């Protein structure tokens, strides 16, 4: 093993932004400035003030509180979608690489089927059929994630199978399952983790897109996408409404993407970019 180089800038920044996001979400369990669902119509569409740091929305709800609880919802959907994707995709990818030949072929074509449609479209289709709501959004996004992760795992695992130490292990009489778990999986874990981080960011964008369309997380539970969708109506009358949920989505996605990029650079020095963003 080569000595790991110091953390690249993108990893620092990405980790910091992601930590902030997680902290915001965790804090929302203990404290929010106001109950996020508390409606006060007469105090609606207020700009930021000492009482409401990020202002109030069209029903007079506190925007900061909604963004905090929204972070929790976004993270939960992202984590569930990526977690399920890992559970489904990684074993399938390993299986495809281990089976080779027609087994590999069948799994690859199944993956193509999922990739034939953009992930948001698949998710819209599935929520249209199964009904709107957080659970169905998770299922739809997990399906896409599983396909991506299966493909990435398979590619990496195939490369690992060709390496000398795997051949040596096989020659020593180890079975394919044991070789997969002991030698292949640890060698591809880095690649899978990087991919999962990027998919996490994609899941947050897709959840926001679905909620924006009214198919995702349902009110009264706040969601960044829904907040942005509501704000669209007020672009002329209260343009600030769109700024904070938009900023939240942008920062969360930027943080996770940079974290993924940074992790990749750090784990695999051949991919190293210049170190600047």
Partner 1 sequence: MPITPQRLALTAATATAVFAALALTAGSGRAQPRTDLVVGMQLEPPHLDPTAGAAGAIKEVTYANLFEPLLRVDGDGRLVPGLAERWSVSEDGLTYRFSLRPHAKFHDGTTADSADVKFTLDRARAADSVNAQKAYFAPIATVETPDPQTVVVTLSRPDGLFLFHMASGDAVIVAPESAATNKQKPVGTGPFRFERWVAGDRVVLARNPDYDGPAPRIDRVSFRFISDPAAQVAALKAGDVDAFTLFSTYEALPEFRNDPAFAVTVGTTEGETILSTNNARKPFDDVRVRRAMAHAIDRGTLIEGVLYGNGVAIGSHFPPHRQGYVDLTGMYPYDPAKARALLAEAGYPNGFDTTLALPPPPYARRGGELVAAMLAEVGIRARIEPMEWAAWLEKVFKGKDYDLTMIAHTEPLDIDIYARPDYYFNYRSARFTALNDELNRTQDQARRDALYGEEQRVLAEDAVNGFLFMLPSVTVQKAGLTGLWVNRPVQANDVTAAAWK
Residue 214 DSSP one-character state: T
**Cα separation of 149 and 162, whole Å?**
20
CB nearer to partner 1: give 200 or 244: 244
Segment interacting with partner 1, rule: CB under 8 A, options 36-44, 100-108, 190-198, 252-260: 36-44
Q: Examine residue 116 and tell whether it contacts partner 1 (CB under 8 A).
A: no
Q: Examine residue 39 and tell whether it contacts partner 1 (CB under 8 A).
A: yes
Structure tokens at 9: 């800038």
Segment interacting with partner 1, rule: CB under 8 A, options 168-176, 180-188, 194-202, 231-239: 231-239
Residue 222 phi, psi dihedral angles, 5° rounding: -75, 145
Tell which one of 47, 103, 186, 219 touches partner 1 (CB under 8 A).
Answer: 219
Q: Examine residue 130 and tell whether it contacts partner 1 (CB under 8 A).
A: no
As measured in angstroms, the least distance from the Cβ of 42 to partner 1 is 7
As measured in angstroms, the least distance from the Cβ of 212 to partner 1 is 12
Q: Examine residue 35 and tell whether it contacts partner 1 (CB under 8 A).
A: no
Segment interacting with partner 1, rule: CB under 8 A, options 19-27, 37-45, 97-105, 136-144: 37-45
Q: Examine residue 34 and tell whether it contacts partner 1 (CB under 8 A).
A: no
CB nearer to partner 1: give 214 or 269: 214
Site string for partner 1, 160-199 (x = CB under 8 A): ----------------------------------------
List Cβ neighbours of 170 (8 Å cut-off, separation of 6 or more): 176, 179
Segment interacting with partner 1, rule: CB under 8 A, options 41-49, 89-97, 150-158, 197-205: 41-49
List Cβ neighbours of 222 (8 Å cut-off, separation of 6 or more): 36, 37, 61, 65, 66, 67, 69, 70, 73
Q: Which pairs count as long-range contacts for 134-140, CB under 8 Å and 24+ apart, including other chains? A: 134/73, 134/76, 134/77, 134/216, 134/217, 134/218, 134/221, 137/77, 137/81, 137/206, 137/207, 137/210, 137/211, 137/215, 137/216, 137/217, 138/77, 138/80, 138/81, 138/84, 139/84
Segment interacting with partner 1, rule: CB under 8 A, options 25-33, 34-42, 109-117, 262-270: 34-42
Q: Examine residue 233 and tell whether it contacts partner 1 (CB under 8 A).
A: yes
Tell which one of 51, 79, 177, 235 touches partner 1 (CB under 8 A).
Answer: 235
State which H helix or E strand residue 83 sits in: helix 63-99
Q: Please, what sign has the CA dihedral across residues 11, 137, 23, 26? A: negative
Structure tokens at 146: 């599983």
Site residues for partner 1, 64-103, by CB under 8 A, read none
Q: Examine residue 45 and tell whether it contacts partner 1 (CB under 8 A).
A: yes
As measured in angstroms, the least distance from the Cβ of 24 to partner 1 is 24
* Residue 68 CB-half CA count within 13 A: 21
Helices (H), 116-133: 119-130
Helix (H, G, I), strand (E, B) or coil at 194: helix
Interface contacts to partner 1, rule CB under 8 A: 37, 39, 41-42, 44-45, 58-59, 131-132, 214-215, 218-220, 232-238
């Amino acid at each position: 093993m080569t000595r790991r180089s110091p953390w690249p800038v993108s990893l620092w920044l990405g980790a910091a932004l992601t930590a902030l996001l997680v902290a915001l979400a965790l804090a929302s369990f203990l404290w929010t400035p106001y109950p996020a669902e508390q409606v006060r119509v007469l105090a609606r569409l207020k700009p930021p003030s000492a009482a409401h740091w990020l202002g109030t929305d069209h029903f007079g709800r506190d925007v900061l509180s909604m963004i905090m609880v929204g972070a929790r919802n976004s993270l939960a959907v992202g984590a569930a979608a990526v977690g399920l994707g890992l559970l489904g995709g990684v074993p399938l990818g390993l299986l495809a690489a281990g089976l080779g030949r027609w087994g590999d072929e069948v799994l690859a074509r199944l993956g193509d089927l999922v990739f034939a449609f953009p992930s948001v479209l698949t998710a819209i289709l599935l929520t249209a059929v199964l009904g709107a709501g957080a659970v169905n959004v998770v299922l739809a996004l997990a399906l896409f994630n599983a396909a991506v992760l299966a493909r990435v795992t398979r590619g990496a695992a195939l490369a690992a199978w060709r390496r000398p130490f795997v051949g040596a292990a096989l020659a020593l009489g180890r079975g394919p399952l044991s070789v997969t778990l002991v030698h292949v999986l640890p060698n591809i874990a880095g690649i899978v983790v990087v991919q999962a981080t990027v998919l996490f960011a994609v899941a947050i964008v897709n959840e926001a897109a679905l909620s924006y369309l009214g198919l995702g997380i349902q009110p009264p539970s706040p969601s960044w996408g829904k907040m942005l969708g509501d704000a669209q109506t007020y672009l002329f009358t209260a343009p600030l409404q769109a700024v904070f949920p938009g900023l939240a989505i942008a920062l969360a996605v930027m943080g996770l993407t940079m974290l993924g990029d940074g992790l990749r650079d750090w784990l695999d020095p051949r991919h190293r970019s210049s170190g600047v963003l």
